[in-house]
Amino acid sequence: MTATTVSPTTGTGTTAPVHGRRPTRPIPAARLVKVELRKMFNTRSGFWMLLSIGVLSVVATGAVIVFAPDEAVTYESFATAIGLPMSVILPMIAILGVTSEWSQRSGLTTFTLVPGRGRVIGAKAIATFLVGVVSMGVAFAVGALGNLAGSALAGVDTVWDISLSTAPQIVLGNLVGMAIGFTLGVVLRNSAAAIVGYFVVSLVLPGILALLAQLREWFSDVQPWIDWNYTQVTLFDGATNTGREWAMLGSTTAIWIVLPLTVGLLFLRRSEVK
């Protein structure tokens, strides 16, 4: 027995053409990045985090002008004062940029509209990178204005003691901190847990590793290769110049960013979104 397929016919007896579904285009990557940037500003916590970058830059600059002695009114003093709060705020922004999908319960909507979770996380990473670079540009600009105003008020010569080769390393150091926060956000997918985890790996763990380096001589040679805070401080000091130091940075980046981020992405792509 055979089955017969009957084509639909029109009123005149002719066969009507069957139209298939129109192929859908994937959402462009640029649009995804714009959406993720907008989402960083939309939440209350993200908005105040971003706003605090400008506020704290101005406050830190004013503190240097008011309290620093005349000989300390240099560009490095302003950059250091601004950089301290930013080294904490920027990783928090990176964490919230990832974990907001789960803490704000928007993940189901996001991953329904864009089923490719890797594309969403990639857009979040690019948006985080852009926020970090722009924030550092604002910080450098505010520090430069503070240096000009501070030296004029103190009646001293304006000192620009941060070289052009050091500035990119300072930016890279902050981006490394943001990458650590972003990685913790992907792995833990919980704002509170990721924030606590960041403070543990940035404040508690370096002290433990430094203590081990003092107690065990052999570990002092290993520490620079596994302690990401050690290589980050070297970047902030602009002292990452030799091939060995860049290799140390690559080693800590692989241990603390590449490996856990890869594992986190594998679990994220397979986990159930509620």
Six-digit token string for 159: 């000192």
pTM of the model: 0.85
Q: Which two tokens stand for residue 83?
A: 């950089």
Percent of the chain with pLDDT over 70: 91
Helix residue ranges, H only, 114-216: 117-154, 166-188, 191-199, 205-215
User: Are the C-beta atoms of residues 75 and 157 closer than 8 Å to each other?
Assistant: no
State the Cα angle at 193 between 54 and 37, rounded to 5°.
40
pLDDT in tens, 153-208: 888 888 888 888 888 899 999 999 999 999 999 999 988 999 999 999 999 999 99
DSSP notation for 192-261: HHHHHHHHIIIIIHHHHHHHHHHH-HHHHHHHHHH-HHHHHHHHHTT---SHHHHHHHHHHHIIIIIHHH
Find tokens 């084509």 and name the residue: 7
pLDDT one-digit tens code per residue, 59-99: 988 888 888 888 888 888 888 888 888 888 899 999 988 98
Q: Tokens 């204005």 correspond to what residue?
A: 145
Any idea where the domains of the chain sit in the sequence?
A: 29-265
DSSP 8-state code for residue 7: P
Q: For residue 105, is it left (φ>0), alpha (ψ between -120 and 50) or beta?
A: left
Are the C-beta atoms of 46 and 96 separated by less than 8 Å?
yes
